[in-house]
Structure 1
């Protein structure tokens, strides 16, 4: 698959933003409108990786008692990858008033 000049420019822009915000709390908005917050852990050529709490669905029958003891308020954390082509915008997230 050959990338266009615009795709290459966008990729470079995403890499520069990732380099600047590495290990910071960021917010990511995807092309489908969904929004995620977490700590920017790393990035590679095609994706950025964010540490976020794993979400448990209420209908899930799985129960992991040991993990709920480790993080009683937020549940266990996971590393989630977001492909650059699916990201509309991302940047620092400030959840508190300064």
Structure 2
């Protein structure tokens, strides 16, 4: 059985209960890691190593996963041509959804 620390390290430092269970980590191992302080519970069903990337911690706290733009930025790739569009579906009243269109510039 894989340890919770090893599984989280493979996942980049942050993982969900489900992903840990699929990696072969028992619920008792997760609970023991939290109790011992070697693993942090950052949100319901989301666990992290104490030295996990702050960006991944932030995403985990909100039950989110970094997307394409974040992955590019995190890997040091630049981008240009950022343009923000507002979208409001037909018949909808209220705040619009912000959509970012980005032209990536790979080194």
TM range (shorter): under 0.3
Structure with the bigger RCO (C-alpha within 8 Å, sep 6+) is: 1
Over alpha carbons, which structure has the higher Rg?
2
TM score, norm. by length of structure 2: 0.23
